[in-house]
Amino acid sequence: MVTDVALWRRLLAELLGSAFLAAVVIGSGIAAQRLSPRATGLELLENAAATAAGLFAIILMFGPVSGGHFNPVVSFADAAFGGLRWRDAAAYLPAQVAGCVTGAVTANLMFALPAATISTKDRASPAHFLSEIVATLGLILVIFALARSGRSRAAPAAVGAYIGAAYFFTSSTSFANPAITIGRMFSDTFAGIAPSSAPAFIAAQIIGGALALMVIRALYPSITAAQAAGIIVPHHEGRAGPAAARGAPDRASPGARPPGRSQPSE
């Protein structure tokens, strides 16, 4: 269980990361509308590509401090497997929500729009509800499968790639995150969601997270708290993680890399 990074630092990282995430999602949606008006498919492609790339970079920026959750479902799933204290997961939630709202306001202002405009985009339908269950289920499975198999280094890219793909294979465009769902209510733009649709999305995301916990326990019954603590990005300071326990280099050490893998070029 992670205790070596001060809670206030982790909360600040989650708030800032969530703000950047919301700004990327909403800002790229606004830009796509302006660059490709009335070309919905192209707008969605631009929005998805920016979100996937942005999420990858944001996880790398803030993940070493907090783990790079930016999503209450991820945080509470981590707590369920013992990788995060329940009280810390509860503290992450308001930081993530506040960050996403801040990011939405910032995105609006960057494009010379009113700071907050309540979205009128209705997204509530049975198909969207099912899509959010599937999107969230898949996201949590990707994260914990990588942690369980010792491939957490690939998590930033894998999470970004999954969300980018899920923009297209789900009818809801894969929110998969209650905090970003709340943030997107404050922008009446391409990426927005009407407040009346948000409760159904959040309920579906919670259901998807719960289903993911059951599937993970069935597929990986031996997942440990140490492995759960290393989801997305291991966030330890001077403490050997699961890889170090097996004799591999400490992930937090500068220049450390898994055996047999060359250091990426700058």
- CA dist 63 and 127 (Å) reads 33
Residuewise pLDDT in 10s, the chain (266 residues): 445 789 999 999 999 999 999 999 999 999 999 999 999 999 999 999 999 999 999 999 999 999 999 999 999 999 999 999 999 999 999 999 999 999 999 999 999 999 999 999 999 999 999 999 999 999 999 999 998 888 888 999 999 999 999 999 999 999 999 999 999 999 999 999 999 999 999 999 999 999 999 999 999 988 888 888 888 876 654 443 343 333 344 433 334 444 444 333 33
Q: Could you tell me the CATH number of the domain that includes residue 125?
A: 1.20.1080.10
pLDDT of residue 236: 52
| Cβ atoms of 157 and 57 closer than 8 Å | no
pLDDT of residue 260: 41
Q: Is residue 11 part of a domain?
A: yes
pLDDT of residue 235: 60
Q: Is residue 179 part of a domain?
A: yes
Q: Is residue 255 part of a domain?
A: no
Domain count, the chain: 1
Q: Is residue 249 part of a domain?
A: no
The encoded tokens of residue 30 equal 């606004």
Q: Is residue 1 part of a domain?
A: no
Q: 189: domain range?
A: 7-234
CB neighbourhood size of 50 (10 A): 18
> Which residue matches tokens 């998807």?
208
Q: Is residue 105 part of a domain?
A: yes
Q: Is residue 260 part of a domain?
A: no
Q: How many alpha carbons fall within 13 Å on the CB side of residue 151?
A: 11
From residue 133, give the alpha-carbon distance in Å to each of 19, 39, 128, 172.
Answer: 24, 28, 9, 10
Q: Is residue 263 part of a domain?
A: no
With H, G, I as helix, E, B as strand and everything else as coil, classify residue 203.
Answer: helix
CB neighbourhood size of 175 (10 A): 29
